[in-house]
Amino acid sequence: MSTSIEKTAPVTAPERASGSRPAGRAERFADSGGVLNVFSHGFLALWAVLIVFPLLWVVLGSFKTDAQINGSAWSWPSHWSFKAFGSAWTKGHIGGFFANTLIVLAGSLTLTMLLGAMAAYVLARYEFKGNRLIYFFFVAGAMFPVYLALVPLFFMVRNLGEISPLLGLNSYLGLILVYVAYSLPFTVFFLHSFFRSLPTAVHEAAMLDGCSHTRAFFQVMVPLAKPGLISVGIFNVLGQWNQYILPVTLMQPTSAGEADHSMLAQGLVNLALQSGYKSDAPALFAGMTMAMLPVLVVYLSFQRQVQSGLTSATLK
Amino acid sequence: MRHGKYPFIVGFLILPIVLYVGLVLWPYLQTFGYSLTDWSGQSQQMDFVGLDNYSKLLDDDVFLGALWHNVFLLAVLPIVTILIALFFAFMLNVGGRGGTGGVQGVRGAGFYKVVFFFPQVLSIAILAVLWQAVYRTDGSGLANGVLIKLGLADAQHPVAWLSDPDLVLWCILGVLVWSGVGFYLVLFSAAMQSVPRDIYEAALLDGAGRGQTFFRITLPLLWETVQTAWVYLAIVAMDAFALVASMTPGRTYGGGPDHHSELMSTYLMRNFLAFGEAGYACAMGVVIFFFTLILSVVSLRVTRRERIEY
């Protein structure tokens, strides 16, 4: 502790010599900084341990045996085998849930961004009757809790299933459309202000050159709006990846023997329920590890974009 | 604009509007209608019962308890999370040694941000399953394991965590804070970095200490961000469905032990999908809606301040 306080002293010394600021005060600030520095590092490190430790514990758990997991929290894996991962992937269907989630997210993200950008662009850049009203309706939707819609939504999707089996409950396309619909308010709201902030000159030049409205949008405006699209895109990836209430309500097998289209989030919770009965705790821990790893990899490679994208999206 | 404007506008707007009206606005409106009926959800049979569902809600102890639990989360979650996040953000940005002619953050700020933020990108279900394992009621859970190791708990009588009626809501709160702090830390950090450094340096020249800098400069300049964070956390506190439904004991959608962690959302889902009381569930949805509405209006009014330009 004392070392860090001592360390601050030489740093302040040249300042006193330069006389550019009231030395005594700067020094006082610096001194308290030294103590505070140790203090803050302590708290920061403690919180970092609080975050990392449970995660590591879970990873470690996937190498333990069932008896070890149910014995003591401090047991150490006796032999390192990946058996539990295989059992979670096949018997626990983690692999299938992963595929389901990827299919739905791929569809819903593409559609959300495309439809959201189209609507936001038209509402931001074109004047026509009812423009403000439509915008207002879109934005108002972001204020409402999803629980307000849950019960009728369930029946709405079920009825869609009677029109086409591709759309109903427990169908990918049905869930994709629901995800898109519920992501639109925020996407439109965010991109609306973004399109407004873009310069009009480029667009006008394109129009003078005989560009059609549609082409002007896809070839001029979308590339210009790329930073905004990335921000809101990241926001939507996380939002839809984290979604739980919608798949729980909409993705249940409607009859026995129907394919299980559960999202990863649902599947994992179900696995947790079953692992109690089947006494296969390692598979559960391995399942969790496998669900965390891809996120960790993506997050670590894009963490700067994720952080700035998310915060700028929220601050709008 | 030239010809072809209106077909273009219609062409671009039609799909988003159809989806949005069909799957979002229309169900919202329908909920209000269904909440006035005794619809079970199993058949098309329903009778208009007026406000019966709402008066029933007022007598439903489980629902009132759930409402109370939501209020508890609303009161505690934003304060705790924002305080911790603000503290850490201040540490990271201006908590470092200030000697070298300026104000700077601690070393390794980037590393801390990356680690703290990570829970935010984990799916909420992963969090639920992870914390269920941590909160196991015997010595095999991490929480009990640590307490026993530290000698704070008896190995024969470990803490019951999620099965303890008095603790269960605090356990949920703990997970929400644990996962949320990182996000708000990054949010506040971004806001702090947009505050011009000169302001801090001017304060330093005027002899302001760290505490004063924080309360007189950082906090007022960050007020709008704090307000945003407050609204977002309030929304999280109103929801919290995934955690309670999958972590706490209970027949369907958790809420146990004995409704001690029941939330409006879990009770709504149980009434809808397990009890077959769709009309009643709709009435709860309407209550949640008005609750959220009042909350956002009030919080925006109460915390309103003049915008500071810099």
The string of pLDDT tens digits covering residues A144-153 is: 888 888 889 9
CB contact under 8 A, B24 and A119: no
Same domain, A101 and A211: yes
CB contact under 8 A, B124 and A153: no
CB contact under 8 A, B288 and A147: yes
Q: In the prediction, which pLDDT does A316 show?
A: 56
Which A residues in the span 263-302 are in contact with B, Cβ-Cβ below 8 Å? 264-266, 268-269, 271-272, 284-285, 288, 291-292, 295-296, 298-300
Average pLDDT over residues A29-42: 64
Into how many domains does chain A fold? 2
Average pLDDT over residues A203-227: 86
For residues A135 and A123, the answer to whether their CB atoms sit within 8 Å is yes
Q: In the prediction, which pLDDT does A13 show?
A: 39
Q: Establish if A238 touches chain B: CB-CB under 8 angstroms.
A: yes
* φ, ψ (nearest 5 deg) of residue B117: -80, -20
Residue A73 lies in a domain: no
Same domain, A110 and A49: no
What span, in angstroms and rounded, lies between the C-alpha atoms of A102 and A291? 12
Q: Considering only residues B300 and A237, tell me which one the structure prediction assigns the higher pLDDT.
A: A237
What span, in angstroms and rounded, lies between the C-alpha atoms of A75 and A219? 59
Q: Which residues in chain A have their CB less than 8 angstroms from residue B246's CB?
A: 269, 272
CB contact under 8 A, B112 and A48: yes
Q: How confident is the model at residue A7 (pLDDT cuts 50, 70, 90)?
A: very low
Dihedral, CA of residue B53, residue B57, residue B58 and residue B61, to nearest 10: 150
Q: In the prediction, which pLDDT does B101 show?
A: 45
The complex's ipTM works out to: 0.82
Whether residue A257 is predicted with pLDDT greater than 80 in this model: the reply is no
Return the structure tokens found at B120.
């935010």
8-state DSSP, A146:
G
Q: Establish if B134 touches chain A: CB-CB under 8 angstroms.
A: yes
% of chain A residues with pLDDT over 90: 17
Through-space distance between the first and last CA atoms of chain B, rounded to whole angstroms = 38
What superfamily would CATH give domain B52-302? MetI-like (1.10.3720.10)
> A32-41, A243-252, B80-89: which range is least confident on average?
A32-41
For A272, which of B129, B139, B205 is closest by C-beta distance? B129
CB contact under 8 A, B19 and A296: no
Task: Report the gap between the CA of A260 and the closest CA in chain B (Å).
Answer: 18
Q: Considering only residues A313 and A14, tell me which one the structure prediction assigns the higher pLDDT.
A: A313
Average pLDDT over residues A9-37: 47
**Which helix (H) or strand (E) segment is A152 a member of?**
helix A150-163
Q: In the prediction, which pLDDT does B68 show?
A: 93
Same domain, A214 and A255: yes
Residue A250 lies in a domain: yes
What span, in angstroms and rounded, lies between the C-alpha atoms of B176 and A276? 24
Average pLDDT over residues A58-74: 81
Task: Report the gap between the CA of B57 and the closest CA in chain A (Å).
Answer: 16
Task: Name residue B294's amino acid.
Answer: I
CB contact under 8 A, B17 and A69: no
Same domain, A47 and A192: no
Q: In the prediction, which pLDDT does A274 show?
A: 77
CB contact under 8 A, A288 and B181: no
Same domain, A287 and A152: yes
Q: How confident is the model at residue A18 (pLDDT cuts 50, 70, 90)?
A: very low
Q: Considering only residues B94 and A231, tell me which one the structure prediction assigns the higher pLDDT.
A: A231
Assign A244 to helix, strand or coil. Answer: coil
CB contact under 8 A, A141 and B25: yes
Q: Work out the mean pLDDT of chain A and round it to a whole number.
A: 80
Same domain, A147 and A197: yes
Q: In the prediction, which pLDDT does A23 show?
A: 43
Same domain, A236 and A177: yes
Task: Report the gap between the CA of A90 and the closest CA in chain B (Å).
Answer: 19
User: Is it true that the peptide bond before B119 is cis, omega within 30 degrees of 0?
Assistant: no
What span, in angstroms and rounded, lies between the C-alpha atoms of A88 and B205? 61
Q: Establish if B294 touches chain A: CB-CB under 8 angstroms.
A: no
Q: Which residues in chain A have their CB less than 8 angstroms from residue B141's CB?
A: 73
Q: Which residues in chain B have their CB less than 8 angstroms from residue A141's CB?
A: 20, 24-25, 28
CB contact under 8 A, A249 and B30: no
Whether residue A177 is predicted with pLDDT greater than 90 in this model: the reply is yes
Q: Which residues in chain A have their CB less than 8 angstroms from residue B146's CB?
A: 73
CATH of the domain at A201: 1.10.3720.10
Buried b (16+ CB within 10 A) or exposed e, A95-110: ebbbebbeebbebbbe
Domain extent, residue A219, equals 84-315
Residue A69 lies in a domain: no
Q: Considering only residues A227 and A276, tell me which one the structure prediction assigns the higher pLDDT.
A: A227
Same domain, A57 and A89: no
Q: Nearest to residue B48, comparing CAs of B38, B59, B61, B58?
A: B38
Same domain, A33 and A121: no
CB contact under 8 A, A143 and B26: no
Low-confidence spans in chain B with pLDDT less than 70: 1-3, 95-106, 303-310
Residue A231 lies in a domain: yes
Q: Establish if B230 touches chain A: CB-CB under 8 angstroms.
A: no
Same domain, A89 and A218: yes
Residue A224 lies in a domain: yes
Whether residue A37 is predicted with pLDDT greater than 70 in this model: the reply is no
Same domain, A203 and A235: yes
Q: Establish if A194 touches chain B: CB-CB under 8 angstroms.
A: no
For residues B186 and A307, the answer to whether their CB atoms sit within 8 Å is yes
For A268, which of B25, B96, B125 is closest by C-beta distance? B125
Same domain, A141 and A16: no
Assign B37 to helix, strand or coil. Answer: strand
For residues B291 and B70, the answer to whether their CB atoms sit within 8 Å is yes
Q: Which residues in chain B have their CB less than 8 angstroms from residue A128's CB?
A: 5-6, 9
CB contact under 8 A, B23 and A41: no
Q: In the prediction, which pLDDT does A27 show?
A: 47
Residue A130 lies in a domain: yes
User: Could you give the angle at the alpha carbon of A42 between the alpha carbons of A36 and A44, nearest 5°?
Assistant: 100
What span, in angstroms and rounded, lies between the C-alpha atoms of A293 and A298? 9
Q: pLDDT tens digits, residue range A95-120?
A: 888 899 999 999 999 999 999 999 99
- Could you count the other beta carbons within 10 Å of the beta carbon of residue A265? 26
Whether residue A235 is predicted with pLDDT greater than 70 in this model: the reply is yes
Q: In the prediction, which pLDDT does B95 show?
A: 63
Number of CB pairs, chain A paired with chain B, less than 8 A apart: 312
CB contact under 8 A, A272 and B284: no
What span, in angstroms and rounded, lies between the C-alpha atoms of B239 and B232? 11
